[in-house]
Structure 1
Amino acid sequence: MNDLLLPARGLLFDNDGVLVDSEAGVVRAWTRWAVENDLDPVEVMLAVPGRRAADTVALFTAAHAVPAAVDRITRLELDDVAGTAAVPGVLELVPQLDGVPWAVVTSGVRELAGARLTAAGVPLPGVLVTAEDVTAGKPHPEPYLTGAARLDLPPADLVVLEDSPSGVAAGLAAGCAVLGIGELALQTAATAVVRDLTGVRWTGAGLLLPAAGLLRA
């Protein structure tokens, strides 16, 4: 397998699982919330990846209880950001994007997204699209269409970087090429899939993916 170039004029990054590794904190917070509400933590965790907290909570609670539940989950996650780390390759790639249009498009709320990026040492983007900015979360394309609009670029000129099936579906539905991150993305129709961002480079014409990190081209 050879190195692969994904042509692009700009990039749209998911946050958790793409830029930052927050999995341990996410599992602890959602497990605690599930136990507090007499729910099966395994069942709840299966519903979490790639969704806004409000959309996940709505699967398990009455509509009137959703806002309070989201506040509780957000507080539990904010209290557990200290161990958040950058995904391998991120701290090498992001500095290459000076002058390149890029944004973070996350299902998380703004306060939590910023806290995790800061804890991981990842520079905050000029454009950050969060749960508060959209009416429909992933897998709906609205989050990535919003990111494209804020970068003032057509979706076809952007590469989305995603790890979850719902996020990949959102990026593809928005009309972007999608780079899948991690083995879970192999279950999706992502344009290409890499293990992580180790060795991934911005060339000026797009993202160059090293053959060593490619899981699917």
Structure 2
Amino acid sequence: MNRIDNKRTIEWEVSEFLFDMDGTLLDSIAAVEQAWHEWAVEEGVAIPEGESFHGRTSRDLAAAFVPEERIAAALLRLGEIEQNPRAPVTPLPGAVELLAAVPDDRCAVVTSAARLVALARLAAGGIMPPALLITGDDVAYGKPHPEPYRAGTRWARDGVPPVAFEDTVAGLRSARAAGCLAVGVVGTATAAELQPQADAVITTLADVAVLVGTDSGLRVRLQALDPLSLSTR
């Protein structure tokens, strides 16, 4: 394990690559929060300052603020707003290159967004949907429950785990509980916030390299932040 400045090189054998979408692959957090604000104004509710639903499903958001009998209609309206982002949605550094380096059948996106919303955001960011896309519509329990990442795992075997990339604490908890190596990506949360739930923390996906062996085995190489430096971030 080598150290470069405040980073260290980590290399793992992995079965597949699993990616969160908002805040991990896409710079879409502003679009997400704008949609939540517009929805909250229409519903006549106030989302408290500092309340974070990043990494959680739209149902979690709706259930927290509207009565049970209004949840279905509230979800329908929130989905309509989210499918038409008003703020720019762009790929985050390293995302396009990393997705291109991972074999198609060893790659999945695991997002809390509804399927139509996920497809709209990926399209807005110029990213083709992967062969396997797990959305909030596909699971009974959203992050931090392990179900989303369990649904995205197809190749884990013989003790070789998937690696999952996440920008939220809820997402990292979900990935770890599903048996993934969990990598926190700084942005939505700080490195110090992500570190307790992560096996490694990186600044961007540009700090990740994919190594494909002649036997189709996969390894991931990370330029990860040194844990000793995280208290200052």
Assess same fold via TM > 0.5. yes
Deviations 1:42-77 (A, max 9, x none): 44x623211100111101111111111111111111
Greater shift, 84-93 or 95-104, is seen at 95-104
Letter of the 1:59 counterpart: A
Specify which of 69, 73, 97 is matched with residue 92 of structure 1. Answer: 97
Kindly indicate whether the alpha-carbon contact (under 8 Å) linking 1:194 and 1:216 is maintained by their aligned counterparts in 2. no
**Structure 1 length-normalised TM:** 0.89
**What is the rounded CA distance, in whole Å, between the counterparts of 2:124 and 2:198 in structure 1?**
29
Structure 1: 5+ residue runs without aligned partners? none
Secondary structure, counterpart of 1:137 in structure 2: coil
Matches within 5 A, 1:1-217: 1=3, 2-43=8-49, 46-80=51-85, 83-99=88-104, 101-148=106-153, 151-154=154-157, 156-182=160-186, 184=189, 186-187=192-193, 188-204=196-212, 205-210=218-223, 214=225, 216=227
Give the drift of 1:120.
Answer: 1.0
Of all paired residues, the percent bearing the same amino acid is 35
Q: C-alpha distance in 2, partners of 1:47/1:57?
A: 13
Report the alpha carbon displacement of residue 99 of structure 1 after superposing the two structures with TM: 4.7
Aligned residues, how many? 212
- Distance in 1 between residues matched to 2:96 and 2:200, nearest whole Å: 21
RMSD: 2.0
Going from structure 1 to structure 2, the CA distance change for 1:113 and 1:216 (only over 3 Å counts) comes to: farther
C-alpha displacement at 1:81, in angstroms?
A: 6.0
Q: Structure 2: which 5+ runs fail to align?
A: 213-217, 229-233
One-letter amino acid matched to 2:10: L
Aligned residue type for 1:129: I
User: What is the CA–CA distance in structure 2 between the aligned matches of 1:156 and 1:164, rounded to whole Å?
Assistant: 24
Secondary structure of 1:207's aligned partner: strand
